[in-house]
Amino acid sequence: MHSEHVTVIADRSHERDSAPQTTMRVTKRNGTTEPVDLNKIVRAVSRCCTGLRDVDAMRVATKTISGLYDGATTSELDRLSIQTAASLLTEEPQYGKLAARLLATYLDKEVHNQEIHSFTQSIATGHRLGLVNERLAHTVATNARKLNDTIDPARDRELEYFGLRTLHDRYLLKHPQTRLAIETPQQFFLRIACALTETIGDAIELYHLMSTLEYLPSSPTLFNAGTSHEQLSSCFLLDSPADHLESIYQRYTDVALLSKFSGGIGLAYHRVRSRGSLIESTNGHSNGIVPWLKTLDASVSAVNQGGKRKGAACVYLEPWHADVEAFLELRDNTGDEASRTHNLNLANWIPDLFMRRVEANGAWSLFDPKRVPHLPDLWGEAFDRAYEEAEAAGLAAKAIPARDLYARMMRTLAQTGNGWMTFKDASNRACNQTAVAGRTVHLSNLCTEIIEVTSADEAAVCNLGSINLGRHVAGDAFDFAKLARTVRTAIRQLDRVIDLNYYPIPATQRSNLAWRPVGLGVMGLQDVFFQLGWAFDAPEARALSARIAEEVYFHALTASVELAAEKGAHPAFAETRAARGELQFDAWGVAPADPARWDALRARIREVGLRNSLMIAIAPTATIASIAGCYECIEPQVSNLMKRETLSGDFIIINRYLVDALKRLGLWTEHTRTRLLRAEGSVQSLVELPEDLRARFRTAWEVPMRSLIDMAAERGAFIDQSQSLNLFVESPNIGALSSMYFYAWRRGLKTTYYLRSRPATRIAKTTAEIPAAAAVACSLENPESCEACQ
């Protein structure tokens, strides 16, 4: 049935024919040259092949030589052999493992060649170069033997090629001049662990969690822990500047300082007057917020995060602001460039009243904030009342049908993926920090998972970390006991960051010490389902997803109570809902699974307090999931075969669970691979696959969005901040989108994140061979691979 008339990438016979070339020479480190020795390369590759049954060292070696030029350096040869192995991983995922091992060997050499042979030597070198701070250098020096013994080089084998490359290119400390790494991946993990803990015992425990990829702190923490600038927080939330020049310009400075040290920024603009508003001092008229945002756009792209990644910010605007229509066009790729901001992300901060007007197909009034300065600080019924009074008083700048504005929001989402729908009332209603009147959540953050109050002199901050759920499965069941242990260690680490942190602007320190919020999230939910053999939206998967959320919340609260008993509750505890015994699920009207245990915890919270006002936030985990080699946060896989585009280059990711399943069925063939490639990584056209497998290996484009929203809502009852929920619609239209986001609001979600869609035309496939002319005829056996029918 499988006539192999199509091949992916390359056929083997050719490579064997074209290599080895005996005339080629390589240049050694000392400048001398020698002939390329195929056997030497084969031996070097073979040393890394232990346990990898399906890789062919000879093939990697010959293919490497075929890509070489005469006079290349040995270092180029090494790097080329790594890339060559990596390029074969779509054919056989074990080549990815091989590439990772070759890379690990290469990295060890890089570090050893600088006379760094132990953890303490690495830290001492970093300290001498001014990269590692005094505190860490001292801790490590005084516990040298114990720490050096902790390093387990075999843990390198936990890392996939992509993860290791990411670590090497962007996370390992580099010599300022030579740019060579001065630490191995294991030394890196132990450095972070030592920097984030108070005792050696805790450090070793955290090292084990990280090096086994069971838990990872967020990127800013991994970038900066133990260094001379310990800015460890991921997220900053700034309330809108006040409606005057000094305040507007002060914000640019705030944003620049926060960006410089790796923070992602959310900031609101709903207090700044709209276009046409009178400026008394000059008797002129304002140009509204767009020119300010244009300046912000330039400012954000000017500051890069220590060369590690680009600065990034998201602007929040409430939809009653009279500039909202221009705001929704900021990311369009046509029109006046003076009104376009290609680097800013945009989010709508939507009160329930707007959604009710959409539902009723009513009118919606737009206001100049100068005339309704109180609206940003109100939510719920108070907002509804104030808004309607302002309408009645004739203060509106203009009124439009609510559905027209809603349609524009949907269009922006479809065309740019931006203009995220986030809900002001749901966010405030269920926030632990809004118990006292006058405290308001004014916006979410860059990734829509942080929900914290802000004010003129309080900027919210959050430190994040994520548990790799994929590493919490034991046999055919989820390991809740292990999860509980991981949560405890993670919360203690996140809490520690609050005290260690370097605060680039004073308003952040003030708020962080009062509220001590942290954001513990998860990643690899899809891995759990693959391991347990469940479809993403299967009833048992949905139940487990909610149960995991409940357990994480329970153990996070428990750990925070424990910390409060040791170190005291956070200063603002008395002003929280938790102090009154109200927990997140109460706001959602959801009853937890085991009420007795929750009642006991509630009593304990009232008695001892909590060390942290907020604990759970599900971040997108884009980069740390790459390091951990798992699927991102709570998301279904985007494709069974895809690439990741990163600053380190592009990487192919193949679903290894699918490959295993296909191998068991004897279906992992060139023919299957080609069809998978042609189908953009979808298995739905692989008709020979049993139906349950096709359901299990659906992609995010194929899982119903309704189920993602339902799962988010079920999980949401145990998330005291929020979650970065991407939604996926292949070819969006206004009708489907408006229904989808309406449903998300209805289900009580606080926030949604990107709308992902796909391009209308695709790049021609260069690696999927077109069948030979003779084969272009309809084949009833394999209709899906036959182009004649398409």
Partner 1 sequence: MSGEVATAMFAGGSGPSASARPARLLDPGMCLTLRPMAYPRFFEMYRAAIKNTWTVEEVDFGTDLADLAKMTPAERHLVQRLVAFFATGDSIVANNLVLNLYRHVNAPEARMYLSRQLYEEALHVQFYLTLLDTYVPDHAERQRAFAAVENIPSIKQKADFCQRWIDSICGLERLDTAAQRRQFLLNLICFAACIEGLFFFGAFAYVYFLRSKGLLHGLAGGTNWVFRDESAHMAFAFEVVATIRAEEPELFDDGLERDVRAMLAEAIECEAQFAADLLAGGVAGLSIGDVRSYLAYCADQRLATLGMAKQYGAANPFGFLALQDVQEVTNFFERRVSAYQVGVEGEVTLDAAF
Q: How far is the CB of 462 from partner 1 (least distance, A)?
A: 16
511 token code pair? 């708020």
Q: How far is the CB of 665 from partner 1 (least distance, A)?
A: 22
* Residue from 108, 479, 562, 680 in contact with partner 1 (CB under 8 A): 680
* Residue from 56, 84, 167, 535 in contact with partner 1 (CB under 8 A): 84
Q: How far is the CB of 167 from partner 1 (least distance, A)?
A: 14
Cα–Cα nearest to 170, from 151, 159, 155, 185 = 185
Interacting positions 516-555 with partner 1 (CB under 8 A): none
Helix (H, G, I), strand (E, B) or coil at 39: helix
* Residue from 217, 636, 732, 748 in contact with partner 1 (CB under 8 A): 732
Distance CA 38, CA 720 (A): 59
Interacting positions 200-229 with partner 1 (CB under 8 A): none
Using rule CB under 8 A, residue 310 touches partner 1: yes
Q: How many residues bind partner 1 (CB under 8 A)?
A: 106
Q: Which is nearer to partner 1, 122 or 724 (CB)?
A: 724
Interface mask toward partner 1 for 225-264; x: CB under 8 A: ---------------------------------------x
Q: Which is nearer to partner 1, 382 or 768 (CB)?
A: 768
Q: Which is nearer to partner 1, 345 or 428 (CB)?
A: 345
Using rule CB under 8 A, residue 443 touches partner 1: no
* Residue from 55, 88, 98, 328 in contact with partner 1 (CB under 8 A): 88
* Contact call for residues 226 and 194 (beta carbons, < 8 A): yes
Count Cα atoms within 13 angstroms, Cβ side, for 494. 36
Interface mask toward partner 1 for 712-731; x: CB under 8 A: -----------------x-x
Interacting positions 97-126 with partner 1 (CB under 8 A): none
Using rule CB under 8 A, residue 427 touches partner 1: no
* Contact call for residues 29 and 76 (beta carbons, < 8 A): no
Using rule CB under 8 A, residue 284 touches partner 1: no
Q: Which is nearer to partner 1, 650 or 691 (CB)?
A: 650
The active-site residue out of 110, 214, 449, 632 is 449
* Residue from 339, 706, 747, 784 in contact with partner 1 (CB under 8 A): 706
Q: Which residues contact 13 (CB under 8 A, 6 or more apart)?
A: none
Q: Which is nearer to partner 1, 287 or 646 (CB)?
A: 646
Q: How far is the CB of 84 from partner 1 (least distance, A)?
A: 7
Q: Which is nearer to partner 1, 692 or 787 (CB)?
A: 787
Phi-psi region of 37 (alpha: psi -120 to 50; beta: other; left: phi over 0): beta
Largest CA distance in the chain: 89
* Contact call for residues 27 and 73 (beta carbons, < 8 A): yes
Count Cα atoms within 13 angstroms, Cβ side, for 370. 17
DSSP alpha helices (H): ranges in 535-669? 539-567, 584-588, 595-608, 622-628, 656-664
10 Å Cβ neighbour count for 250?
13
* Contact call for residues 728 and 526 (beta carbons, < 8 A): no
Q: Which is nearer to partner 1, 218 or 489 (CB)?
A: 218
Residue with the two structure tokens 């009124």? 399
Q: Which is nearer to partner 1, 587 or 709 (CB)?
A: 709
* Residue from 593, 758, 783, 789 in contact with partner 1 (CB under 8 A): 758
* Contact call for residues 331 and 297 (beta carbons, < 8 A): no
Helix (H, G, I), strand (E, B) or coil at 634: coil
* Residue from 1, 596, 763, 780 in contact with partner 1 (CB under 8 A): 763
Interacting positions 49-78 with partner 1 (CB under 8 A): 63, 66-72, 76-77
10 Å Cβ neighbour count for 667?
16
DSSP alpha helices (H): ranges in 93-199? 94-112, 119-128, 134-142, 144-150, 161-166, 185-195
Q: How far is the CB of 617 from partner 1 (least distance, A)?
A: 17
DSSP alpha helices (H): ranges in 303-401? 324-327, 352-359, 380-392
List phi, psi (to 5°) of 316.
-105, 140
Residue 160, H or E segment: none
Cα–Cα nearest to 106, from 210, 187, 185, 27 = 185
Helix 402-416, helix 734-746: angle, nearest 10: 110
Interacting positions 382-421 with partner 1 (CB under 8 A): 403, 406-407, 410-411, 414-417
Count Cα atoms within 13 angstroms, Cβ side, for 495. 26
The active-site residue out of 445, 468, 640, 655 is 445
Distance CA 464, CA 555 (A): 16
Distance CA 431, CA 509 (A): 20
Interacting positions 131-190 with partner 1 (CB under 8 A): 169
* Contact call for residues 19 and 65 (beta carbons, < 8 A): yes
Q: Which is nearer to partner 1, 509 or 646 (CB)?
A: 646
Interacting positions 313-352 with partner 1 (CB under 8 A): 333-334, 337, 340, 342, 345
407 token code pair? 């349609």
Helix (H, G, I), strand (E, B) or coil at 780: coil
Prior bond to 351 cis, omega within 30?
no
Q: Which is nearer to partner 1, 352 or 550 (CB)?
A: 352
Q: How far is the CB of 174 from partner 1 (least distance, A)?
A: 13
Q: How far is the CB of 328 from partner 1 (least distance, A)?
A: 13
Running DSSP on this structure, what letter comes out for residue 450?
Answer: -
Interacting positions 636-665 with partner 1 (CB under 8 A): 638-639, 641-652
Residue 283 is among the residues annotated as catalytic for this protein? no
Using rule CB under 8 A, residue 735 touches partner 1: yes
Cα–Cα nearest to 697, from 660, 740, 650, 666 = 660
Q: How far is the CB of 705 from partner 1 (least distance, A)?
A: 5
The active-site residue out of 48, 194, 447, 462 is 447
Q: Which residues contact 522 (CB under 8 A, 6 or more apart)?
A: 466, 467, 468, 469, 548, 552, 618, 633, 634
* Residue from 359, 575, 702, 784 in contact with partner 1 (CB under 8 A): 359
Using rule CB under 8 A, residue 8 touches partner 1: yes
Q: Which is nearer to partner 1, 320 or 651 (CB)?
A: 651
Using rule CB under 8 A, residue 312 touches partner 1: yes
Q: Residue 424 corresponds to which amino acid?
A: K
Q: Which is nearer to partner 1, 215 or 745 (CB)?
A: 745
Q: How far is the CB of 68 from partner 1 (least distance, A)?
A: 6
Q: How far is the CB of 314 from partner 1 (least distance, A)?
A: 10
Residue with the two structure tokens 């509630």? 602
Residue with the two structure tokens 């020979």? 688
* Residue from 53, 145, 664, 762 in contact with partner 1 (CB under 8 A): 762
Using rule CB under 8 A, residue 15 touches partner 1: yes
Q: Which is nearer to partner 1, 692 or 730 (CB)?
A: 730
Interacting positions 594-623 with partner 1 (CB under 8 A): 622-623
Kindly indicate which of the ranges 4-12, 250-258, 457-465, 659-667 contains the residues binding partner 1, using the contact rule CB under 8 A: 4-12
Kindly indicate which of the ranges 10-18, 322-330, 434-442, 478-486 contains the residues binding partner 1, using the contact rule CB under 8 A: 10-18
624 token code pair? 């740390």
Using rule CB under 8 A, residue 309 touches partner 1: yes
Interacting positions 17-36 with partner 1 (CB under 8 A): 18
* Contact call for residues 609 and 576 (beta carbons, < 8 A): no
Residue 447 is among the residues annotated as catalytic for this protein? yes
Residues taking part in catalysis = 445, 447, 449
